[in-house]
Structure 1
Amino acid sequence: MSTRADQAIAALRKGHDDLSALVAGLTAEQLTGPSAADEWDLSQVISHLGSGAEINLEAVQASLEGRPAPEFEFNKGVWARWDAMSPQERQAAFPPANERLVRAYEAFTPEQHESHKIDIGWMPEPVDVGTSALLRLTEFGYHDWDIRAGLDPAATLAPEAAAQIADRVEGLFGWIAKPANLDGRTATLLVRLTDTGETLGLNLVDPVTLGAAPATADGELSLTLDAWLRLAAGRLKPAYTPADVAITGPISLDDLRAVFPGY
């Protein structure tokens, strides 16, 4: 039976293979062209994913060797090295760096998926392999979209990544949702995912929460799973919003963009 860890690692592999092929074919002009991430060109998003792969791999290796998680100074050194690379150097360095991380996750046995713990440094306590892989997949999935949307505004999240990210999107709310941007207004929205048939309840209070579909709601937000996940991570700006996104009630789409400004 496929476990959460199996699914997250398989999605990391698919995402790596697809993005590596895309990155390899980018021209010098494309590498320095805009991404969908504010203030970053494509090569800078690639750099962020490459440095993140190295930092995650160090945490995985430390857990296997019984060493403490890497300290912040280690992270700073990795970021500085990638920041100093040229766009073409980032293009060349990303595939092997991310391949090493994906292979490290693939090397865990089914037994380790349940028993092994990884200290990733910023969580309250070490997490299991599935959680660690899913956290990396969330970062990877959104930044993969940042690259693809820089080339094609109609790009969507990779389906295999979106299916996994959906299970933890509420976990992002604690550090990215800004209910204060509603200036004291509150509301409960019925969120209707048009492609999956799922309905949810989005409670725009402080803190913002996600739950079961409410019996009564102040309004309704209708959109695909992809658009919902991108909205929750600040990636549904007007240029990247599908025409079929619809909202009713006292809260506008711009209000939701203010609540979820992204990162």
Structure 2
Amino acid sequence: MSNADTVITALRSGYERLADLVDKFDDETLAGQSAATEWDIAQVLSHLGSGAEIMTNTLQLAVDGKPPAAGDFNQSVWDRWNSSSRREQAEGFLEWNEKLLALFESLTEDQRDTIQIEFSWLPAPIDLATFARMRLSELTYHSWDVRSASDPAATLDAAAVPEMLQTDRDVSWITKPAELNGQAAVLTVVTTDPAEEFTLRLADPVTLEATKADESDGTLTLSAEAWLRLAAGRLGPDRTPESVELTGPISLDTLRSVFGGY
């Protein structure tokens, strides 16, 4: 099994879980507020649908050995989706996510191992597993945004969590060091399901290190699922499992402010 296979499998299960809900949504539900504070549920689905259309195009060009699309392609897709009705956005989400998954699943073992995908904003091409994890992260977080609107106990899809932990640990672009108000600390992060230990350095910039520091000021203990939601600004007080524990000079509310969401 190639490194990309498990990611594609997680994409399929995560999509089908959300699609089962979307199939049942009426117009009132689509207009309801999602957990993404600036978007209603249809807008979240529009974001996921337009992203699937763009990624389908990007992947197909890579399969065909062609360069990335021109710079105005993405904007033209977003403009079309933004002008669609809520019902069209929901139906388009189902259509384009199925197309993207079908393309992923159609790739041969050799293609899964060797395809390189170019982005104009990246310094070098990426492999299929990395590309698929980018989509998995987007789908998983925004699926939670939809599901948690009516289920405060909703969690990220379990199959996605181990894969999402493998993504780039550069958190400089998603953190707000100013929220530390001059405080600094080194925390050991201990996760379960899967079990990992790594270091969170709270300073300017905020950084993650893949190994446990020799000395720390405290420990954050939580499930890997809860860690991923915290890092993405999705672990509000009403969405925090009782099992989350934090010792040291930094409060959980401060961590929530530092990881303000995106």
The bucket for the TM-score relative to the shorter chain is over 0.9
Aligned partner (choices 173, 180, 199) of residue 175 of structure 1: 173
1:111 CA displacement? 1.3
Q: CA deviation at 1:120?
A: 3.2
Cα drift, residue 230 of structure 1: 0.5
Once the two structures are superposed, residues 130-181 of structure 1 have per-residue CA deviations (whole angstroms, 9 ceiling, x without a partner) of: 111111111111111111111211100000111100111514x132122232
Would you say the 8 A contact 1:59–1:70 is kept in 2?
yes
Separation (CA, whole Å) in 2 of partners of 1:60 and 1:252? 43
Residue matched to 2:42? 43
Cross-structure match for 1:186: 184
User: Residues 66-215 of structure 1: matches in 2 within 5 Å?
Assistant: 66-168=65-167, 170-171=169-170, 173-205=171-203, 206-215=205-214
Task: Give the alignment of 1:242-261 within 5 angstroms.
Answer: 242-261=241-260
Give the structure-2-normalised TM-score: 0.94
Relative to total residues, which structure has the larger helix share, 1 or 2? 1
Give unmatched runs, 5+ long, in structure 2. Answer: none
SS at match of 2:215: coil
Q: Which amino acid aligns with 2:55?
A: N
Report deviation, 1:103.
1.1
Q: Distance in 2 between matches of 1:26 and 1:52?
A: 21
Given that 2:186 and 2:201 are in contact with CA atoms closer than 8 Å, whether structure 1 keeps it comes out as yes
In the superposition, relative to structure 1, how do residues 262 and 72 fare at CA in structure 2: closer, same or farther (>3 Å)?
A: farther
Local SS of the residue matching 1:189 = strand
Comparing 86-95 with 118-127, which one deviates more in the overlay? Answer: 118-127
SS of corresponding position for 1:160: coil
* 2:222 and 2:244 in contact (8 A); partners too: yes
Deviations along 1:5-56, one digit per CA (max 9) or x if unpaired, are 0011111111122211111111222111111112111110000000000000
Q: Please, what TM-score do these two structures have when normalized by structure 1?
A: 0.94
Higher deviation after alignment, 65-74 or 16-25: 65-74
Distance 2:238 2:168 in 1: 22
Give yes or no for contact 1:36–1:150 (8 Å, CA) kept in 2.
yes
Q: 1:121 to 1:9 in 2, by over 3 A?
A: farther
- Residue 207 of structure 1 and its aligned partner are, at CA, apart by 4.1
Q: Give the CA deviation at 1:74.
A: 0.9
Shift of 1:262: 1.1
What amino acid sits opposite 2:118 in the alignment?
D
Provide the secondary structure at the position in 2 that maps to 1:236: coil
CA contact (8 A) 2:4 2:129 kept: yes
Q: Do 1:177 and 1:208's aligned partners in 2 also have CA atoms closer than 8 Å?
A: no
CA–CA distance in structure 2, aligned partners of residues 164 and 201 of structure 1: 19
Secondary structure, aligned partner of 1:168: coil
Indicate the SS of the match to 1:221: strand
Give the match for residue 59 of structure 1.
58
Compute the RMSD of aligned alpha carbons.
Answer: 1.6
Q: Residue 169 of structure 1 contacts residue 232 of structure 1 at CA under 8 Å; is this kept in 2?
A: no
Letter in 2 for 1:130: A
What does residue 3 of structure 2 align with? 4
